[in-house]
Amino acid sequence: MRWKSLIALAAAAAVLVAAEPALAYPGPGVVTGSINVHDPGIVKKPDGTYLIAHTGDNIPLKTSADRTAFRDAGVVFPGGASWTTAYTGGSANLWAPDLSYRNGRYYLYYSASTFGSNRSAIFLATSTTGASGSWTNQGLVIESRTSDNFNAIDPNLYVDPSGRWWMSFGSFWSGIKQVQLNPSTGKRLDSTIRSLAGRGGGAIEAPYLFRHGSYYYLFVSFDLCCRGASSTYRIMVGRSTSPTGPFADRNGTAMTSGGGTEILAGQGSVHGPGGQSVFTDVDADVLVYHYYADNGAARLGINLIAYDSAGWPYVY
């Protein structure tokens, strides 16, 4: 009878284990220290350390020597950014900074707006060190007005193999847009605005363009951000053989028609991952994003990216 009881207990335990839903995605990698971030932009510096800029008052900065332990490193604009207040309603809160290092300078594109409004603007600042207080305001890159069908937030700079500079941006309204920039100024080269992705006015934002192999991958965030543990953000991707598109998902659906292949979504105590950046490090391509903990706090998420036999990215 004792053996029968043990067998019965084992069977019951197996049923309980089977009833637990399998996690669709790996959890975020281990990070420590100052990890309260939202919309992280990241760059690996020439000395091998990492610099993050993220949404917050005057754009907070964080640094890390090992991509694991992070510490606060001041803000981009210690004296404030008075040139942005016409778009922020006087708030010091600036959004979704995009960081890159080119030709001996750091480039920081960032947005100024208020929640739910498309009276928005994207600005550029540059620095030779990336340190707090070292940044020079280079002025307005693009703005949107309430009469426009796009929203000038969530910028991302991509420089293609031919040396052309492209800035993708956008949120809700008619979706993700792209303009070409002048490499000598970091400002717009012409008046053309391209459409890269959209959901018929629905929730899509935070574009990030990244090249791997022969494809250009457009990472975006679908659904709703900024609701703490109730956020439904998830990271989607499509690809193209050109940095200007057209982009399509794994099923061939155009991203301008709502297409997107999911690569990361909320599960367990990880809520609403999104606001992503992607870069290549010595060990792998790296996905950097924010998510919300059960208590609603925004946290830094980092995972590595691999590619399946068809060339589609997945996180691990």
- Residue 259 contacts residue 251 (beta carbons within 8 Å): yes
Catalytic: which of 39, 98, 154, 223? 39
Angle, CA 156 vertex, CA 145 and CA 81 arms, to 5°: 60
Helices (H), the chain: 2-19, 85-88
Task: Give phi and psi for 134, each to the nearest 5.
Answer: -95, 0
Active site residue 39: yes
Strand 234-240 with 261-264, pairing? antiparallel
Contacting residues for 308 by C-beta, under 8 A, at least 6 apart: 314
Catalytic: which of 98, 205, 223, 249? 205
What single-letter DSSP state applies at residue 21? P
Q: How many CB atoms lie within 10 A of CB 218?
A: 28
Task: Give phi and psi for 162, each to the nearest 5.
Answer: -85, 0
Angle, CA 102 vertex, CA 152 and CA 125 arms, to 5°: 45
String of b and e for 260-283 (b: at least 16 CB within 10 Å)? Answer: bbebbbbbeebbbbbbbbbbeeee
Contacting residues for 280 by C-beta, under 8 A, at least 6 apart: 286
Active site residue 148: no
Enzyme catalytic residues:
39, 205
